Structures are given as structure tokens and as C-alpha cells.
Structure 1
Amino acid sequence: MWQGVIVRDVTRLIMASIPLLGHLLPLLPISRGLVERGYDLTFLTGSALRGQVEATGARFRPLKGTADFDGTRIPETFPEFTDPDPSLHRRDRGARYLWIPPIPQQHTAMQEVLAEGDPAETVVLHEGFFHGLWPVLLGAEGLRPAGVVCLGVSVLTLSGDDTAPYTVTLPPDDSVAGRARNHELNSEVQRRFAPVQRHLETCLAVTGAKKKAPYYWDAHSLLADTTLLLGVPGLEYPRRGLPAHISFAGRPPVADRAFTPPDWWGDVEQASRVVFVTQGTVNNSDFGELVSPTLEALADSDALVVATLGGRPVPGSLVVPRNARVAPYLPYHAVLPHADVMVSNGGLGGVHAALAHGVPLVLGGETEDKPDVAARVDWAGAGINLHTGTPTSSTLEKAVKKVLGDRYFRDNALRLKAEYAAYDTLGSVVLSIERSLH
């Protein structure tokens, strides 16, 4: 429920996201809420996502050139990203081939949208992997808005001696020895990342940026005037001395959407125990990674297993046991109220949705930030981290049974559910907008 919202008579907003559905989805309820409160909102993202944006009431603007990619076709569009180049860590490849190269085109598109109105009366809100404001924030010529608010849709990637660096999935340790360990690991990771950092500098130089960029993963939260982390402290490692402009804002509730249940939905509503399995919104080219092994693992259990395929059709080759139901797509808000455990590849959006409903998790994932997400869920006691993206059926069976049989996981998930419920995300966003204009 939105609370404590103050609205100016006229405020021009620009919202921006890279064209990946998992990055866009958390912004959509915020976009809808801002439009409903009278803000003039233009949304800048990929052409393929136009329908989702316009459904919120926002004015759509497409990205430019290579920045306007189709997020459902990453392997075809960015083959280097999926190439197992041993010289780059798997998550360094994402920065090198996906997140950094579009910066010049993002910058051009953002400047065009800023020019459509008065930049001095404009606030830009962008998710953390859209870097189209970095050039002007680092001294490039161009229009600068009155305020820049970063909406953090990933785990906090900021480095520091409180935690091991992003991409190194070690639990926090703020003892003297632990801080020394963290310092050494951060230095080592930044040395490893140096070739990608040089590529960032090259891309920024094309735009005319004059200042040296911070370490790439630090820049995500440091460059904006305000950074709102779309999550809760209970799912993030504690840090001392977090910069004052960085704060948590909870996760926006997903707006109710029309849901036409499949003809077997009554089975879900009547089941005494439901296990929900998904590979998220993107990684659905091979259901053998998680969906099929989970169906096989629980084929003889007393649970009803519900699987969703990220919008893809159910393949004829998928073996569906008698106690399983499969749909191309099911909205989280429909299925999670019935779920006792969720099996996931660790996509952060799905993890937030599960925990906001008090549902514990079993997580297996190896790409992007998924290992870091799984490590945080494990640390919070709200699920089991399988430490692999291709778990066996036997491993999955044991993990699901452990989560179902131990109240420890459910209790921690319920603790986090209460934490999510305490936040007013839209109210925090509106407050940041108003502060930017005063």
C-alpha cells in the first residue's frame, strides 16, 4: 500500500532501464504510481518493452542503436557474453559485453529526451545498470537534470572492507582478520577487472567525459545524487559507514494484473503442499538446468509441483509427472500465496517476490549476480544455496525436503516478509524526487 505521498503540481520525470525484463519489472509499479499521482513521466528503454511501459501510462521513448537490444535474444545478439573466455570471470563478461558498450548510445538517447523539456525541472530515475547519465556526471558536455536517482535492482555491488567483493560469494566478516581478508580480496578483484575498467574509460571518452570513473561496480551506487536500493536490509550484508545518499526503499508491490488461471488451477488452491519452480524470465533456453530435474526429483512426493517457463511454450519433450502442473507463464502474485517453497535460479526479482510472501527458497544459478543473490539468501537463513546452476535431481530432492521439514527456513522467510511490508517504496521515490527539486 502506498503511503505518505506528496505531489507537486508539475514535475517532469524520465525513467530509464536497460532492455532486460528483470531490470524493467521492478520499475513498472513505480512508473504506474508516479503517473497516477500526476507526474509527467517519459520512460526510456528498449523497443521490445514498449507495451509494458505504455501500460503504466508513461510516455515511451526507445533507446538508440546497440543499446536497443532484445533482452530475450542475448546469446544471439552478444555471443561474446556467452563465450566461456577463461580470461574473464563470468560476471566480468557481463560488464565487458553487455553493460558498458551501450553507454554512448544510452547517453545520446537520454540527451534527446532531456532536450524535450527543461532539464532544470527534470528528475531522472534509472535502474542501476543503465549508465546513460554517467557521461554528464563525469564532465561530458550536455544537459544535466536537476536530480539523478538510481534505483538499485541488484544486490549492492559497492566495495569496502566490511564485505568480500561482489562476485566473491563469501559471507560477511567484520572481524579484524575478516576486514583484512576483505581488503585483500577487493584489491585482487579490482586488479583482475582492470581490462574491463579500461574499456569503461574508453566508452566514456567517446562521450566526452572528462573525469575518471570510479571502479565500475562502485559507480553503480556512487555516481547518482540518490541511490535507493529496491530491497530490504535483512537480505543485504551489513556495512559500516554506508554513504548517506544510499538507502533501502523496500520492493514495490506488483500491481494486480489480469490473470486467467489455467483449467487445473483448482488443484493449486486445494493442494496441501505446493512447490513452485522457475528459471526466471530470461534463462529458459534449457529446462534441463532446473525445471526438469525438479519435476523428476519430486515425482514421488506428496507435493503438487507447479512449474512456469518464463513465457515460453511447454515443449513436448518435457516429462511432466502426475503430481506436476506446467504453464508457460504464471505471475508471482498468483502462485506464491499457495507456495511452501520456491525452487529458483536465483534471479533477484523472483527472490524478492518469494520472500515478500514469506516463501523460503532452494537456489541454483551461476550467471550474472545469481550466485551473490543465493549467498545472501543462505546468509539470511531463508533458503538453501546449491552452489551450482545444474543441480542433480537427488540434490534438489534433499534440499526441498530439508526446507519443507525445518521451520528455521520458513521463520526467516516470514521475518523478511514483515520487513518488506514495513517499507513504502513509492513514498521513498517521491521524497527523493522532491528533494532533488529543492
Structure 2
Amino acid sequence: MDAAKDKPILVAAAFNAPGHITGLLHISEHLVKRGFQVYFITGPGFKASVEKIGATFVENPWQWEDLYLTKAPKVHDETWILKHLFGDSTPDAHRALKETLERVRREHPDREVLILHETLAGGLGPFAYGAPLPAGYTSLPKAISFHSSVYISNDHNLPPFGPGFRYDPTPENLALWRSTWDAMEPAFQSVTAHYNALYQSLGATRPITDSFFDFAMKLGDVTALATSPSLEYPIRNKPSRLRLIGGLPVKPVSPDFAYPAWWPTITTNAALPSGDPNKKKVVFVTQGTVHRDYSELILPTLEVLANRTDVIVVATLGARGAALDTPSVEIPANALVIDYLPYNALLPYADVFVSNAGYGGFMHGIMNGVPMVLAGALADKGEVCARAEWAGVAVNLGAQRPGEEAIGQAVNRILGDQKYKARAMELKRENEEMDALGAFEGIIWELVGRK
């Protein structure tokens, strides 16, 4: 039997934003190398990335950037984001998934098909609630839902999503969590109602009855999170569909990447023996790739560490062509600033990772064994900060704009207490040993009944 033809065809879909596509693209690259054929649905900005890994690119035309810039409330509103950036992407995403499944059936009439669906990609939901099947199918293919953030559930034994409450399940905190969940529920019911209206317009015959977060985590036959148990709060009555597969392994930097002219400063410093008085600590700071207000984290980090002769500060601005264009900004002598730098290029040299707690960046820190200073309150960032603190790998600054003094104290704390580095290395080993890519492939074979 042809080994390739024995494998199911995989139809992957991810929302068109770096934090949502990167993980599933990494998994798909591994699967292509393992002989799977992958059709990958996402936005046109990622066409080259999809084709580079050997997958077939399929365009989802939904564009969220202009909508976010022109229509989003000035005060961050998570329900607006869920309704309009993600929810309103559903018609385009559903159409793209339906047409791709039909294309696969025409091109491969005798092959099994399996869906890999990033949680907020949008296309799978209407099918799960009764929308007409794609032509050529008598049942919906099995689906793995890949969640690129923290575990979220309406379980009142867990802190509610958003505020970044620290995990401490005392009777008083359990009562607080329950009351907060109850206070939040009407807003999230409005999100569910928005999705129900969209799904009904696409032919869904059953309404969503779960709370929004539980609904989102149940779309696939299996929901996979690329993390380890030590990085998630204890989950009571863990759903059988939920799998923690471990962090995705560190990817080597592309041989095509052009390192900056100052790169020997980093490598020469790293080559100095431990204890050499000339060897400096490396502090790596990023504002992420979406919420790039450099005054929140990068500028205060540069400023507070400017007079230290024992550190090198490296700041990446998160987008090619980006610049610190404020006229008053003067780059300190101990700082190196670049528009774009792959995290995996610098993290092996870093002693501290200062980040705005995007989940992808956080897991890059884990997989490189680097302790962190985290600040962030938008989207899922408060939850990432709280979990990192609970896991013992980071100082949680608990704010979107923590200020220079707080950042400086946190960096000193990480550099002055080896428990953070030791814990970072423990978590790195735990996640590596879980073999995320092998575990994900195992789920595929399980769902097609050949494990």
C-alpha cells in the first residue's frame, strides 16, 4: 500500500493573525514532512508561509486589521472583539472550509479527511450546529480543535477569563470567582446570541446553548493545547476531549534570515566564560506583534536599564519596517533595537525575557528555558501573566503600563534569584518530554481509528 495514500488528507484552518496561525502552521509543517497532504486555509498575508512548508494554500478573504483600526472601541472591549473580529469572520471562513472540503472530495474521492481547526478560525462552528454538509460527505469529518491560548472554561472552580485573578482557591476567592463569572455572563450571552444569528444565517439548525467559552472549547472531537499541566491551573472534571500535548519544539532560525550587523555583540558576549567580569546579562524585550504601543513596555525598559553597564538590552519592535519614530527617543548605549527578530534567534542567549504576555511569545520563553517579566491586560494577556507567575517562571507586573520602576525591580528580581532560571529549565524539560508534534500526530491516528 502507498504509505502516503494510507494517510488522511488534512484540511487546516487558522484565523488570519500571527498568534493564531503560527502554532498550527508549525504542526502542519511537521505533518507535511511526515507524508501528510495538507490544505491550509488562512489570509493572503500568509500564503508564502503556507507554501514554504509544502502545504496547499487556500485563501480566506476575511481581513480584520482595518476593522480593528477603524471600528474597535477606544477602550478595549473583549465582547466587541469576539463578536466582530472573530464572529463576523464566520461567513467567509465557513465558505472557505466548505469549498475546500468539497475540493478535497473531488480530488481525492477515496481518501479519509480530517479537519485541523484553530479555535477561532470560524469555519467549523456552523457545521457543528447543523449547517448543511459539504457536497460529497454523509457526515462531517473528524476535527481537532487547536487552541492557541490558555484553557478557558466557565467552570467556577477556575478564575474567570479576563481579570487575571491569581489562582488561590480559598472559599473567599471561589465566591469571588463565581460572582465575577455571574456578572460577566450577560455580556458573553450577547456574544453567543451574535454567533447564533450568524450560524442560523448559514443554515445551522441547533442553537449554541453552552456558555461562550465552553462552546469554543468543544468545537472539535479533540481540543489540543500546546502546553503542559504545570502551566495550567488544576482542571476538575477534565473533559475527555481536552489534551495538553506540551509546548511546540523550538524551530531553528531560517537560514535565509539576515542577522543584524550588531549580532556579534551577542555571540561574543555569550562565548565569554561564566564568571568573566566582562560578560553581560542579556535582557530581551518585545511588545508583541499586535498591540505595539512601545510606550507601554519597550521604552520604559530601555529607559530604566539605560545606565546599567552589566546588561545588554535587545528590543524587537514586532514588525518588519517598524521604528521608534518618537523624536525624543534616544537609544541608550547598552541597547540594541531591531524592527523584527525571530524569538528563537535571541532567546537562547537571553537571561530575562520581558514581554507583553502574548501566548506564543510566552511559550517561546518556556521552550527556550528563559525566565520572564510579563505585563499585559488586554485579550488573554492577564491570564497568561497569572499562570506564568503561578508556575514560578515569571514576575507578573499585573498591568498594561507597568512603569519603569516596576520593570526595573522585576528584572533585578529575576537576575538575582536563580530559582526562576531553575524553574524555567524544569518547565522546558517537561514540555519537551511530552513531544507535542508526536502527540498531535497520535491524535490524528486515534480519530481515524488506527491507533
Q: TM-score normalized by structure 1?
A: 0.91
Matches within 5 A, 1:205-216: 205-213=200-208, 214-216=210-212
Partners in 1 of 2:429 and 2:213 — Cα distance?
Answer: 30
Partners in 1 of 2:53 and 2:23 — Cα distance?
Answer: 12
Partners in 2 of 1:168 and 1:200 — Cα distance?
Answer: 24
Instruction: Quote how far apart the aligned CAs of 1:206 are.
Output: 0.9
Structure 1 residue aligned with 2:33, among 36, 40, 43? Answer: 36
Q: Secondary structure at the match of 1:287?
A: coil
Letter in 2 for 1:282: V
Aligned residue number for residue 261 of structure 1: 259
Contact conserved, 1:227 with 1:246, CA < 8 A, in 2? yes
Matches within 5 A, 1:5-404: 9-64=6-61, 68-69=62-63, 71=65, 73=66, 75-76=68-69, 79-84=70-75, 90-118=77-105, 121-143=112-134, 144-175=139-170, 177-213=172-208, 214-256=210-252, 257-258=254-255, 259-271=257-269, 272-284=280-292, 286-301=293-308, 302-311=310-319, 312-316=321-325, 317=327, 318-404=329-415
Corresponding pairs, count: 422
Partners in 2 of 1:138 and 1:80 — Cα distance?
Answer: 29
Instruction: Quote how far apart the aligned CAs of 1:44 are.
Output: 0.2
- Structure 1 range deviating more: 15-24 or 139-148: 139-148
Where does structure 2 lack aligned partners over 5 or more consecutive residues? 270-279
- Structure 1 range deviating more: 187-196 or 259-268: 187-196
Partners in 2 of 1:361 and 1:82 — Cα distance?
Answer: 31
Q: Secondary structure at the match of 2:162?
A: coil
Instruction: Quote how far apart the aligned CAs of 1:176 are.
Output: 5.0
Instruction: Quote how far apart the aligned CAs of 1:348 are.
Output: 0.6
Contact conserved, 2:145 with 2:222, CA < 8 A, in 1? yes
Partners in 1 of 2:20 and 2:32 — Cα distance?
Answer: 19
Letter in 2 for 1:357: N
Instruction: Quote how far apart the aligned CAs of 1:183 are.
Output: 3.3
CA change 1:70–1:176 in 2 (3 A) is closer
Contact conserved, 2:188 with 2:211, CA < 8 A, in 1? no
Partners in 2 of 1:105 and 1:134 — Cα distance?
Answer: 12
Instruction: Quote how far apart the aligned CAs of 1:34 are.
Output: 0.9
- Over aligned residue pairs, what C-alpha RMSD do you find? 2.0
Partners in 2 of 1:291 and 1:30 — Cα distance?
Answer: 31
Partners in 2 of 1:349 and 1:414 — Cα distance?
Answer: 18
- Structure 1 range deviating more: 419-428 or 309-318: 309-318
Contact conserved, 2:127 with 2:140, CA < 8 A, in 1? no
Q: Which has the larger radius of gyration?
A: 2
Partners in 2 of 1:333 and 1:369 — Cα distance?
Answer: 22
Q: Secondary structure at the match of 2:239?
A: coil
How many percent of aligned residue pairs carry the same amino acid? Answer: 34
Q: Secondary structure at the match of 1:365?
A: coil
Instruction: Note the alpha carbon deviations across 1:171-200, whole angstroms, 9 max, x for none.
Output: 334455544443333232212322222112
Matches within 5 A, 1:399-418: 399-418=410-429
Instruction: Quote how far apart the aligned CAs of 1:283 are.
Output: 2.1
Instruction: Note the alpha carbon deviations across 1:187-228, whole angstroms, 9 max, x for none.
Output: 322123222221121111111112221222112211210111
- Structure 1 range deviating more: 170-179 or 378-387: 170-179
Instruction: Quote how far apart the aligned CAs of 1:168 are.
Output: 3.1
Instruction: Quote how far apart the aligned CAs of 1:82 are.
Output: 4.0
CA change 1:148–1:134 in 2 (3 A) is same
